[in-house]
Structure 1
Amino acid sequence: MNNIPPVDLARQYKLISTETDLAVLEILSSGRYIGGTVVTDFEKQFAHYINVSECVSCNSGTDALYLALRALNIGKGDEVITSPFTFIATAEVINLVGATPVFVDIEPHTFNLDVDQIEAAITSKTKAIIPVHLFGQAVNMTKVMEIAQQYHLFVIEDCAQATGAEWDGKKVGSIGHIGAFSFFPTKNLGACGDGGAVTTNDPEIAATLKMLSEHGSRVRYYHEAIGVNSRLDSLQAAILQVKLRYLDHWNEQRSLVAERYQHLLSPIGKIQLPQALAGGKHVWNQYTIRLPEHQQGEQLYRNQVREQLQQMGVISMVYYPLPLHLQPVYQYLGYQQGQLPRSEQACQEVLSLPMFPDLTFEEQEQVAYSLKDCLS
């Protein structure tokens, strides 16, 4: 019985090794490792894929969110509404620009921001909403944009886990004012290191993003703002150009893997399977089940199952074990246990099973049989 990892990047590399190696060697032999046409070409290709006019690449998904907030002049005294059930980068960038994160609870079946609770969180200080398209599934952006328009708010889409996902036929990252993407290696479109991009249909916002990402400079050595050094290097751009050609195919394979999981796991009791919203296109960065029984003795039931699966060769992940509003760093905000109950409950129950495009049916059977044995 083979160990099944959460994601297998080496397997992916083998499929595209010839193209990737040629692209990397071309950059190495050129001697141009920062910037150049390979970066600008990738930006144009990615903008075309997302169906926006502008793309500015950067060095991470975290920087993409940070630059987006900076470009919209969000800072001290402002509030930004987002989800507590996400990676901390979504919220920490709000603090980094001097603003305050305001957390709104999630929907129980999609793990995404509960759009029906957004309005109640809006105050005179609210300047933006950051909906997180978690695990590859789009938030209901129709509702988000209606609220944003009504209250004159900016919308920054956190698309880190959802490259290629859609809502109402539109790619995420093209619906809000700005889209922020991560190219961390485990994402649907992943580099061989850190990388990110910001997308928009506003040329002025794009110009500001570019300026801020290059030390606040539009003309070399002349600086109009305090910026940062946030670049996508040429090697990563070259690799991403190769992978972008495969992205739709890989996302289709992820959907097939998810369908097989639904078929294999639906007869098993004691678990809740993930649901795909009507009106959206899920790209399954994660396949996340719920194990509803909370506590058995001193250990979470979910954690017991995870440990047993690992002993059987199935490596699963927990995204996320503690919601942001209860993190030590956010105690100053004054949130209490039980205030955002759906997020808190999800953190006790979620378990992400192995999910990548080349996961075989036999491996999925091993996952399903192992999980059935654990639960029996």
Structure 2
Amino acid sequence: MIPFVNIQAQREAYREELEKAEKAVLESGIYIGGPEIAGLEAELSAYTGTNAVTCASGTDALTIALTALGVQPGDEVVVPDFTFIAPAECVARLGATPVFADIDPRTLQISPESVESLVGPLTRGIIAVNLFGQCAPYTELRKIAQHHGLWILEDSAQAFGATQCGKQACTFGDMAITSFYPSKPLGCYGDGGAIFTANKELAQKARMLANHGSEERYLHKVVGTNSRLDALQAAVLRVKLAHLDAELESRRKIAKRYNAFFADIEGLTPQQIAEGNTSTYAQYTLLVDNRKDFVAALDQAGIPHCIHYPMPLHRQPCFAEATSQHTGAQENAADMASQKAVSLPMCAFTQIEDIIGKLQKVL
């Protein structure tokens, strides 16, 4: 059976390193905080050239970053319409309103033109999602943000290790986040996340918010939360981080193999990687004119697949009130993508020739 993400093969490849790291944590008795967390944060900071603060999940990272940026009830934040719910969900949980921007139909990234059209007197910032592993159009977004006095929060949950014009992901926003969910390009064995910023004051605030609003034991300057990455997960991530660049190169080679195969098949269009971008290929995603028949062919061949994402956010029932008050509810490129997108197996250990062989029999 072909796995969608072959985490087992990855563990086998690094088993000796992982077991040594895991054993060291278990025998240390230090399971929360300690040298593994400090070491991972230092390595993440060095990799990105920013200040890294770990936390319990990518969703927590979003909420903490939004809080650090000062989001208040009644504010509006522009978010992409075609993505996972977490960015809009975190905005709404803070009492603010997500305003849904359309996407570029080729790259599937947030559309700067749509963002510009949605900025109003209550807009405080923009969440740009590095969807499926490549960076959003930050040059254009930064111009909009500067013109209107907005901040940018970079959601790089799928794109840690990607680059744009030679710069690392997690460096383009006033703050940025990533997720260490197991299936991510850099994943642990549970939930985990991190916040990044070049601003030391924002980093300090994020760290305080993640620790019950406290910098000093039992002295709480603000109301915070409890959001900690544990030491065992940090140890796993440190092993995997050392192999990340090599894995990303493997992912890109696998994506090229997919691209070459699908180039001769009508009605199948891979997500376009924008000029200047490299992608982590968190997913390998196609836009398929006849998705129903294509999915049936994948099922016949025994190839796993996933629909990322079957509904744009402005059509989700939980956002009905927000959508009714803002433009973006009309059919748009996000609707198109939700009707056509299909993601295929992708990781550094994906058995690509096996998959191509099976595809050749059914397409």
- TM normalised by structure 2 equals 0.97
2:346 to 355, 360, 367: 355
2:321 to 319, 332, 339: 332
Supply the distance in 1 between the matched residues of 2:233 and 2:127 (Cα, whole angstroms): 27
Shift of 1:129: 0.4
Change (3 A) 1:324 1:367: farther
* 1:216 corresponds to 2:207: no
Q: Which amino acid aligns with 2:357?
A: Q
Give the 5 Å matches for 1:276-287: 276-287=273-284
Contact 2:300–2:362 (Cα < 8 Å) also in 1: no
Shift of 1:351: 0.5
Residue range with higher mean Cα deviation, 303-312 or 272-281:
303-312
Output one character per residue of 1:23-70: Cα deviation in whole Å (capped at 9) or x when no partner: 000000001100001101100100111121x11100100011100000
The count of residues paired between Structure 1 and Structure 2 equals 361
Partner residue of 1:75? 72
Contact 2:99–2:323 (Cα < 8 Å) also in 1: no
Change (3 A) 1:153 1:370: farther
* 1:268 corresponds to 2:270: no
Partner residue of 2:175? 178
Contact 1:5–1:316 (Cα < 8 Å) also in 2: no
Shift of 1:201: 0.6
Supply the distance in 2 between the matched residues of 1:262 and 1:82 (Cα, whole angstroms): 29
Shift of 1:307: 3.4
Supply the distance in 1 between the matched residues of 2:119 and 2:185 (Cα, whole angstroms): 33
Change (3 A) 1:329 1:128: same
Output one character per residue of 1:102-159: Cα deviation in whole Å (capped at 9) or x when no partner: 0000000111101122111101111110000000011111111111111111110000
Aligned CA RMSD, in angstroms, stands at 1.4
2:45 to 39, 44, 47: 47
2:297 to 276, 299, 308: 308
Supply the distance in 2 between the matched residues of 1:55 and 1:353 (Cα, whole angstroms): 31
Partner residue of 1:299? none
Partner residue of 2:135? 138
Shift of 1:371: 5.0
Give the 5 Å matches for 1:114-193: 114-193=111-190
Supply the distance in 2 between the matched residues of 1:370 and 1:315 (Cα, whole angstroms): 16
Partner residue of 1:13? 11
* 1:195 corresponds to 2:192: yes
Q: Which amino acid aligns with 1:206?
A: A
Change (3 A) 1:337 1:102: closer
Shift of 1:338: 6.0
Give the 5 Å matches for 1:227-306: 227-293=224-290, 302-306=291-295
Supply the distance in 1 between the matched residues of 2:47 and 2:237 (Cα, whole angstroms): 13
Shift of 1:337: 8.9
Contact 1:338–1:344 (Cα < 8 Å) also in 2: no
Shift of 1:208: 0.5
Q: Which amino acid aligns with 1:231?
A: R
Change (3 A) 1:370 1:116: farther
* 1:321 corresponds to 2:318: no
Supply the distance in 1 between the matched residues of 2:105 and 2:93 (Cα, whole angstroms): 29
Shift of 1:367: 4.6
Residue range with higher mean Cα deviation, 167-176 or 28-37:
167-176
Supply the distance in 1 between the matched residues of 2:362 and 2:266 (Cα, whole angstroms): 10
Shift of 1:340: 4.3
Change (3 A) 1:215 1:337: closer
Shift of 1:370: 4.6
Supply the distance in 2 between the matched residues of 1:359 and 1:192 (Cα, whole angstroms): 19
Q: Which amino acid aligns with 1:39?
A: I
Runs of at least 5 residues in structure 1 that lack an aligned partner in the other structure: 294-301
Change (3 A) 1:87 1:371: farther
Contact 2:100–2:328 (Cα < 8 Å) also in 1: no
What SS does structure 2 have at the residue aligned with 1:268?
A: coil
Shift of 1:332: 1.1
Shift of 1:305: 2.6
- TM normalised by structure 1 equals 0.93
Partner residue of 2:223? 226
Shift of 1:364: 3.2
Supply the distance in 2 between the matched residues of 1:361 and 1:136 (Cα, whole angstroms): 19
Shift of 1:6: 1.4
1:97 to 94, 97, 113: 94
